[in-house]
Amino acid sequence: MKYVSTRGTGELGRFSDVLLLGLAPDGGLAMPEHIPAFSPQTLEALRGLSYPELAFRVMRPFIDDIPEADLRRVLHATYHPDVFHSQDITPLTRLGAASPGQGELYLLELSNGPSLAFKDVAMQFLGQIFEYVLERRGEQLNILGATSGDTGSAAEYAMLGKARVNVFMLSPRGRMSAFQQAQMYSLNEPNIFNIAVEGVFDDCQDLVKAVNADADFKARFDIGAVNSINWARVLAQAVYYFKAYFALGLPPGAEADFSVPSGNFGNVFAGFLAKRMGLPVGQLIVATNENDVLNEFFSTGVYHVRPADRVAMTSSPSMDIGKASNFERYLYLIAGSSATHTLSWWDEVGQGRPVDLRGTSHWDEVKASGLLSGRNTHQGRLETIRRIDQQCGRLIDPHTADGVLIGERHQRRGVPMVCLETALPAKFGDTVQEAVKRAPERPERFAGIETAERYFDVLPNDVETLKAYIARKLRETVKVQEPA
Ligand SMILES: Cc1ncc(COP(=O)(O)O)c(C=O)c1O
Ligand SMILES: N[C@@H](CCOP(=O)(O)O)C(=O)O
């Protein structure tokens, strides 16, 4: 399978190339040349497979430059019950019926991995596959990432002790939960560099893109990416939609709906990918918090990114995002894989102008694509956490609550609604406490983490300062020599 950029300047290579590349040189995102779809028979043959085998079958059409046996080995090492604390890796739990006469509500548990968020599912794969590809090529990778709280720790846990990888992780200073900050900043490892940026998540993400846009710096310092701008992240996330669908035990071809707490649009795009691959996904619900740029688009046809000073601090902080990176992949597909369209739309986005699809055939395509949306607020979040706790005996985190509430609003008679559990409540103790008047349980390994010593540097929102920092840290790191 060959990969191209959403903005169209030539081929990017095959899977291993785009894995290490992260972002395309023209600033676009890597996409497969086409999306292979399973026939109904092939799809049925996936039913009942173990997670690693299912992952192999779903990902294989996109990864044809790694020998089958090696890919299987990597996937079996990644998706191990010891890592995800469940034989099913991503178990599906029935919550009950939202209201009489409506379909059943389910929770897809994605957050039982090392960092207690859904990011682990794909990030653990990235840790393994990076190591495999870098080893084969004899190369080194310096990952530059941006986090609003969960990608950071998932990436750092996945890359801990990896000899060929360093992680530079940008986080918005003071805008993550106390647990999230402690989880990342307490790591004192030679290959991990935590950087608190004076800005919001979007500033961090823009810095990542700006560093990647400097071709000389990127090549000189082997800069790679772990955010969902990296195709491998999205691909690995598509697998759990298949797993959940088969776990529902529906008759062949019957539809299931999914509700996805959304910010950077990676998770819901992975669901859209699964749908395009032939999985009978009906509605894909894009659930946002008060930072509702995506809800605005799906309700009006206008995508208008929010400048940093208009990104609110909310009680689902990991979704405090005003620019959704993977939205570019979605619009690229909506436009029939047209890089010309994406290029002109992102030219507008780059200049702070809206992309307005109202009255166009593209808007018809959007409406036919199955994506719908809704927006939640602090009050709705608290009430949902409380209600699901009381009615179902299940404590959920604030982001998952956004997904559950908006999912319920879109429920269809007789169609199951699967709500993605994107983090565990332990990560957002204050909000959960406010909702149910008790502290969420946390795994023993995180006891008292908030009081641990913290290791991070503070940088201004400035790309040249960041590049100088990376260069200096790599010079100082004994095991990484500055390239000649
Ligand atoms: C807990 C949680 N929920 C939801 C999201 C939103 O997911 P996405 O950015 O893939 O839309 C994030 C961050 O990405 C998150 O950390
Ligand atoms: N919510 C994320 C932000 C980045 O998302 P990603 O999926 O693009 O890595 C976070 O918690 O860091």
- Tell me the per-residue pLDDT of 231-264, one tens digit each, with 9 for 90 and over: 999 999 999 999 999 999 999 999 999 999 999 9
Q: What residues contact 19, with CB distance under 8 A and at least 6 apart?
A: 126, 129, 130, 133, 230, 231, 232
Closest to 23 (Cα-Cα) out of 233, 191, 304, 192: 233
- Ligand 2 contact, 228 CB (< 6 A): yes
Q: Is 49 within 8 Å of 57 (Cβ atoms)? A: yes
What's the CA-to-centroid distance between 119 and ligand 2, angstroms? 8
- Ligand 2 probe mutation, 23, 159, 194, 264, most atoms within 8 A of CB: 264
What's the CA-to-centroid distance between 399 and ligand 1, angstroms? 8
Closest to 105 (Cα-Cα) out of 242, 250, 258, 253: 258
**Class of residue 273 by CB neighbours under 10 A (exposed 0-12, middle 13-18, buried 19+):** buried
Query: H or E stretch including 109?
Result: strand 104-109
pLDDT tens-digit series, residues 370-390: 999 999 999 999 999 999 999
Enumerate the H helices of 28-112 as residue ranges: 40-44, 51-59, 68-78, 81-84
Q: Which amino acid is at 426?
A: A
Where does ligand 1 bind, in terms of residues with CB under 6 Å? 117, 150, 228, 261-268, 318-319, 399, 422-423
User: What is residue 316's DSSP assignment?
Assistant: S
Closest to 386 (Cα-Cα) out of 367, 401, 408: 401
Q: Which phi and psi angles does 480 have, rounded to 5°?
A: -120, 120
Enumerate the H helices of 393-462 as residue ranges: 398-409, 429-436
Q: Is 123 within 8 Å of 116 (Cβ atoms)? A: no
Counting Cα atoms < 13 Å in the Cβ hemisphere of 418 gives 31
Sheet holding 30-32, edge to edge: 11-13, 3-5, 30-32
- Ligand 1 probe mutation, 422, 424, 432, most atoms within 8 A of CB: 422
Active site residue 119: yes
Atom nearest to 147 CA in ligand 2: 12
What's the CA-to-centroid distance between 27 and ligand 2, angstroms? 18
CA 119 to chain centre: 6
Catalytic residue among 119, 218, 275, 427: 119
Q: Which amino acid is at 276?
A: R
Q: What is the ipTM of this complex?
A: 0.99
Strand 104-109, strand 92-97: pairing:
antiparallel
What's the CA-to-centroid distance between 53 and ligand 1, angstroms? 26
Q: Is 394 within 8 Å of 108 (Cβ atoms)? A: no
Ligand nearest to the CA of 175: 2
Which parts of the chain register pLDDT below 50?
480-484
Give the pLDDT score at 103: 78
> Which residues are paired to 287 by β-bridges?
261, 374
**Class of residue 309 by CB neighbours under 10 A (exposed 0-12, middle 13-18, buried 19+):** exposed
Q: Which CATH number fits domain 90-116+232-436: 2.60.40.10, 3.30.390.50, 1.20.1600.10, 3.40.50.1100?
A: 3.40.50.1100
Inter-axis angle of helices 51-59 and 68-78, to 10 degrees?
140
Give the pLDDT score at 484: 44
- Ligand 2 contact, 111 CB (< 6 A): no
- Ligand 2 contact, 318 CB (< 6 A): yes
pTM of the prediction? 0.97
| CA 156 – CA 75 distance, rounded (Å) | 19
| Count of C-beta atoms within a 10 Å radius of residue 56 | 20
Distances (CA, A) of 194 to 217, 229, 329, 470: 20, 20, 28, 11
Tokens standing for residue 176: 């993550």
Instruction: Enumerate the domain spans of the chain.
Output: 90-116+232-436
- Ligand 2 contact, 151 CB (< 6 A): yes
Strand 371-375, strand 281-288: pairing:
parallel
What's the CA-to-centroid distance between 422 and ligand 1, angstroms? 7
Minimum CA distance residue for ligand 1 atom 9: 264
Q: Is 328 within 8 Å of 346 (Cβ atoms)? A: yes
Sheet holding 223-224, edge to edge: 223-224, 141-146, 165-172, 192-197, 457-459
Give the three-class secondary structure for 247.
helix
Give the pLDDT score at 269: 98
Give the pLDDT score at 102: 72
What's the CA-to-centroid distance between 227 and ligand 2, angstroms? 6
CA 231 to chain centre: 10
Q: Is 65 within 8 Å of 132 (Cβ atoms)? A: no
Give the pLDDT score at 101: 66
Tokens standing for residue 118: 């859904």
CA 286 to chain centre: 13
Q: Is 319 within 8 Å of 213 (Cβ atoms)? A: no
Q: Residue 437: left if φ>0, alpha if ψ -120 to 50, beta else—which one?
A: left
| Count of C-beta atoms within a 10 Å radius of residue 113 | 25
CA 272 to chain centre: 13
3-state secondary structure 150-214: CHHHHHHHHHCCCCCEEEEEEEECCCCCHHHHHHHHCCCCCCEEEEEECCCHHHHHHHHHHHHHC
- Ligand 2 probe mutation, 148, 288, 424, most atoms within 8 A of CB: 148
Minimum CA distance residue for ligand 1 atom 15: 318
Atom nearest to 423 CA in ligand 1: 1
pLDDT tens-digit series, residues 392-414: 999 999 999 999 999 999 999 99
